[in-house]
Structure 1
Amino acid sequence: MNILIHPTYFPNIAHFVAMSKTSEVCFEMDDNFLKQTYRNRCYIYGANGKLALNIPVIHSQKNRQKYKDVKIFNEVNWQDNHWKSLLSAYRTSPFFEYYEDDLKPLFTQKTAYILDYNLKCFEVICDCLQLDLNISKTETFVKTPENTRDFRFLVHAKKEIPQQFDNYTQVFIEKHGFLSNLSILDLIFNEGPNALNYLESQTIKST
């Protein structure tokens, strides 16, 4: 089964559940950039509960701007702030040190475009998960694709369909309870090599 999906910033678990059940993933590359989506944000589990990490971007004065043309606003030190947030949230998790060296370069090397940066993050996470996928990329935008499952709806952060996945142990679960569908980072830091088995055992709600 082929799937069509958006590249997002450290995709949430729903994205990877969808991708773990197929070997053919097509990334949407020709859509317009919209605010309040997972294109430039992810959610982790901080000491005070759900915490958003947002990548600042440079918005065009035009009404519409292609996702692939959106630049990151690197004049602020957002990478250092995100890394410090991850350290604070997960340094006591079982597998943070196991993946730390793979992930840290993503927070020290600057990238001009948000889409390029998200694809870099995706490659590193796939290596961490040992998830081998055949990746293709769209060349034109198609509203209703044929012969593929369309998971582009998962990009919405504000009007997303609630996903309830099986519990796994989280660092602050005793303080705030289980938080479902956070960034894939939460899963790999807490579950390590078992993360892929977890993803393959879950199902996604589409309505």
Structure 2
Amino acid sequence: MESLLLLPAFYLPPISYFHTIQQNEQPLVMERYEHYPKQTYRTRTKIATANGVLDLIVPILHGRKDHVRMKDIRINYDFNWQRLHWLSIQTAYRSSAYFEYYEDDFVRFYEQRYDYLLDFNIEQLQLLLKSLKIQRSLTFTETYTPRVERLDYRETIHPKKASILKSPKPYYQVFEDKHGFLPDLSVVDLLFNQGPQSKSYL
């Protein structure tokens, strides 16, 4: 069996996610049939602000059933979270070296509505891979397999687990003088601060 790299689709994934992709040349397969797990990077991302780390969380529609496949999770627009997230990102990174360079590419995710979380996350992932100059094609699972004989990162990269990045090398961050270096934030923190150098950091 061909070796594969199995990953979930995250919201503005952490640096460790792209480090994993960059370090493994196996075909990239996105999980879409798992039962949606709560409190993971599938709906949240971490950015650095003047007040420290801020979690941005995409609200979802909770149906009556607990077990909903990831591909069927819908985004909730009962309140204007897109405006809040984009204002938070602008405030955090307006003074970073490369924010203006990438701003127009990312703003559409906060102006356009996506029905499904998976579509939202996958479109961002494709933009991030392009921005990081990582050439990888994406395929998707056709069924859910609990245990697989491949590189399975579906539960490895998690906000409540220790980062898989061991002793990450610091790079310049906007609020570093206030908080010190904050490791393994959303990859946009790296991208907005390091721009074209981001890929070599990974």
Task: Answer whether contact 2:16 2:157 (CA < 8 A) is retained.
Answer: no
Task: Answer whether contact 2:35 2:67 (CA < 8 A) is retained.
Answer: yes
C-alpha RMSD of matched pairs (Å) = 1.2
SS for the counterpart of 2:16 is helix
Name the counterpart of 2:108.
105
Per mean C-alpha deviation after superposition, the further-off stretch among 56-65 and 91-100 is: 56-65
Tell me if 1:4 matches 2:6: yes
Per mean C-alpha deviation after superposition, the further-off stretch among 1-10 and 44-53 is: 1-10
What CA distance in whole angstroms lies between the structure 2 residues aligned with 1:55 and 1:155? Answer: 18
Task: Answer whether contact 1:9 1:39 (CA < 8 A) is retained.
Answer: yes
What CA distance in whole angstroms lies between the structure 1 residues aligned with 2:100 and 2:78? Answer: 29
What CA distance in whole angstroms lies between the structure 1 residues aligned with 2:201 and 2:91? Answer: 25
What CA distance in whole angstroms lies between the structure 1 residues aligned with 2:96 and 2:11? Answer: 21
Tell me if 1:63 matches 2:66: yes
SS for the counterpart of 2:54 is strand
User: Which runs of 5 or more structure 1 residues have no equivalent in the other structure?
Assistant: 200-207
In the superposition, the TM-score normalised over structure 1's length comes to 0.91
Pairing partner for 1:14 from 16, 20, 27: 16
> Where do 1:2-151 residues align within 5 Å?
2-23=4-25, 24-146=27-149, 148-151=150-153
Pairing partner for 1:165 from 168, 178, 181: 168
User: Which runs of 5 or more structure 2 residues have no equivalent in the other structure?
Assistant: none
SS for the counterpart of 1:53 is strand
What CA distance in whole angstroms lies between the structure 2 residues aligned with 1:57 and 1:63? Answer: 13
What CA distance in whole angstroms lies between the structure 2 residues aligned with 1:49 and 1:154? Answer: 24
In the superposition, the TM-score normalised over structure 2's length comes to 0.94
SS for the counterpart of 1:9 is coil
Name the counterpart of 1:179.
182
Per mean C-alpha deviation after superposition, the further-off stretch among 21-30 and 47-56 is: 21-30
**Alpha-carbon displacement from aligned partner over 1:5-45 (angstroms, at most 9, x marks no partner):** 11100110111001112342111111011111011000000
**Alpha-carbon displacement from aligned partner over 1:92-124 (angstroms, at most 9, x marks no partner):** 000001101111111100000111100011111
Name the counterpart of 1:152.
154
Aligned residue pairs: how many?
A: 197
What CA distance in whole angstroms lies between the structure 1 residues aligned with 2:157 and 2:24? Answer: 18
Query: Which residue type is aligned with residue 162 of structure 2?
Result: I
Task: Answer whether contact 1:6 1:155 (CA < 8 A) is retained.
Answer: no
Per mean C-alpha deviation after superposition, the further-off stretch among 127-136 and 40-49 is: 127-136
